[in-house]
Amino acid sequence: RVQRVPATETQGRVHTSTVTVAVLPEMEDVDIEVNEKDLKIDTYRASGAGGQHINKTESAVRITHLPTGIVVACQDQRSQLKNKDKAMRVLRAKLQDQAEQEAQASMAADRKSQVGTGDRSERIRTYNYPQGRVTDHRINLTLYKLDAVLNGDLDEIIQALNAADQAAKMQEA
């Protein structure tokens, strides 16, 4: 939270604001590798118009991705090879979409765990401008170096947090 006296405040009252911050990695493009062993490829006679050719040839293709259970069927083309290529492209697109959705769900869970509810009671650190004070409420550390901390001098806070983390781990063991 941030405590400050705004320039527009005529009574000199301290205003408190709450800020939530989430640090997330950049999302990477997922390359999908489809292993032939993971596929079950069925050929069958297509349905629809086409006369003797469609009735005699097994040009339709159904591909099942065994690990995920995704099924793709294609009977648009007259050629089995073209149908298989198109079905593979559709399967890759579906697998890509599924992988991206899983990555987004994971990122959303990470964000939710970092941000929390954003309530005022959920304070981690207070930046008090009138007093030039920074307080980390997790370890009860108070420093009167607000300007230095805001300019990136976080070493003292980080060292204290690391020491508290080490002490907590030692108590668990």
**pLDDT, tens digit, 9 for 90 and up, residues 29-40:** 667 788 888 899
Between 16 and 49, the higher pLDDT residue: 16
Q: Which amino acid is at 161?
A: L
Alpha-carbon gap, residue 5 to 128, rounded angstroms: 10
* Helix residue ranges, H only, the chain: 51-56, 80-115, 146-150, 155-172
For residues 31 and 34, give the distance between their C-alpha atoms in angstroms, rounded to a whole number: 10
Q: Average of pLDDT values for 137-161?
A: 93
Q: Model-level pTM? A: 0.58
Mean of the per-residue pLDDT values of the chain: 86
Q: Which residue ranges does the chain devote to CATH 3.30.160.20?
A: 36-115
Topology, domain 2-20+120-172: Alpha-Beta Plaits (3.30.70)
Q: pLDDT tens digits for 52-71? A: 766 677 888 999 999 999 99
Paired strand residues for 153? none
Instruction: Give CA separation, 63 vs 73, 76, 77, 83, 112, in Å.
Output: 6, 14, 15, 10, 37
CB 17 within 8 A of CB 127: no
State the fold for domain 36-115: Double Stranded RNA Binding Domain (3.30.160)
The region of weakest confidence among 34-38, 76-80, 100-104, 118-122 is: 118-122
Over residues 159-167, mean pLDDT: 93
CATH 3.30.70.1660 range(s) for the chain read: 2-20+120-172
